[in-house]
Amino acid sequence: MTAPRRPATGRRTAILRREAVLATVPVAVAALLGAAGPAAAGTQGTSGAGDPYFPLSGNGGYHVKHYDLTLRYDTGSRHLDGKAVLTARATQKLTRFDLDLKGLKVTGVKVDGSAAGFRRSGQELVVTPRHTLHKDQEFRVTVTYSGTPKQVTDPDGSADGWIRTDDGAFVAGEPQGAMTWFPANNHPKDKSSYDFTITVPKGRIAVANGVLRGQHTANGRTTFRWHQAEPMAAYLATATVGKFKVEQYTTRDGIQVYNAVDAREARAAAPVLKKLPSVLDWESKLFGPYPFRAAGSIVDHAPNVGYALETQSRAVYDSAPDVSTLVHENAHQWFGDSVSLTSWKDIWLNEGFATYAEWLYSEQHGGDSAQKSFDALYDRPASDHLWAFPPGDPGSGENIFDTPVYARGAMTLHELRKAVGDRDFFRILRAWATEHRAGHGTTAQFVKLAECVSGKDLGGLFHTWLYAQGKPGKA
């Protein structure tokens, strides 16, 4: 995501654009769900996935393999009708389980075709199936719901989820917002494939993740069908709606590109979006093959949002991006989307990596070197907010999109690069993206990989730059 989101400065990537072993394997979803969250109480799935910053995000006791979302949105009344069909697998014996859903009226829940009991408890939709679900049993949950989606406010004061615009909705779910528009197991530890069928008034475009499977117009409405085949965390899903100009093409590598641009942003966005194929090609050379079948951009006109988000396979921007932001959000397709977090505490693995990609792009395209970017930040006094907390331990959900995560996270990678040399450093980046592709990663695993590839003890370096309080001293 772009620039840190403190209310006074806006959100994620932009801060930095403006301020200027190989034996490691992905962790299995079932192991993550079993190990990271609190122990299930008997046969009841837990109401959270165990994240220290967002304790009610996600749920225990099952893994969602696939979401099939059918949505009908009226841009005049702002009313949403939804049907979500979740194909899941029980990771324990279940007599009850939760889904994350905030607001909206649930009109029915079925489990394997039979009506199930349900009740609301804050952001939890608590489901009691008619029959007990056994460990490893595959089951299907159908939830019908409707209402007017409302955004959530994150701990840092920024808007998240289904955010209204003057012609539709800007849908960006990091970290909590998926639950504002569909029932989900809403934590990055649980990744799934998706199908979206979205019906909107004629003249509006509905853009989701993955590949466009088709669209048709009848009776004054247009229905769009999208398919996201590769595993995706719920917060990376989008169903952005608006009046967009659409561009479609296929890159020489076979990636299907779909750009949707608000006409008010088209002139400024055009020269930047034209660089998307070359940016993806450059990033693929550094990080390994692009991890998805589709790519592209959603450029909305949403001046009150203040950020962009790396929605999987197709980043969403609140306005025309600059090249640094384009580089940042597409670097996330590797770091954050394909390789996902197991805890929001490790957010530097997303934002530090995407920010450092900006530095590398600048360095290799006639701009400032990564060392110059590092030095400009390091020259800030010890009292500067950059040193307010260590990026590996932000302390709370309020801080996960703040300056130290982005800037000092990128500085950590630059220190690693200097310590191991360019050859090993770029081997580490590529191995991280390749070995954890479509999976998950932790800081501890990244440190282990870096030490394995380089043959060096890097514990002191990572402790200093990721976990030590205050401004680190020069090596």
pLDDT digits (tens, 9 = 90+) for 245-290: 999 999 999 999 999 999 999 999 999 999 999 999 999 999 999 9
On whether the CB atoms of residues 82 and 70 are closer than 8 A, the answer is: yes
Q: How far apart are CA 113 and CA 128, in angstroms?
A: 13
CB atoms within 10 A of CB 54: 20
The token duo for 365 is: 């395209």
In the chain, the percentage of residues whose pLDDT exceeds 90 is 91
pLDDT, residue 19, reads 40
Backbone angles phi, psi at 203, to 5 degrees: 100, -15
Nearest to 182 by CA among 82, 86, 107: 82
pLDDT exceeds 60 at position 101: yes
Map tokens 């409302």 to a residue: 150
Tens-place pLDDT, residues 295-344: 999 999 999 999 999 999 999 999 999 999 999 999 999 999 999 999 99
For residue range 430-457, list pLDDT tens digits in order. 999 999 999 999 999 999 999 999 999 9
- The pLDDT value given to residue 4: 57
Bridge partners, residue 86, by sequence:
67, 141
Q: Which of 267, 251, 263, 256 lies closest to 230, judged by CA?
A: 256
**Which amino acid is located at 246 in the chain?**
V
Q: Is the pLDDT of residue 185 over 90?
A: yes
- The H helix count followed by the E strand count for the chain is 12, 23
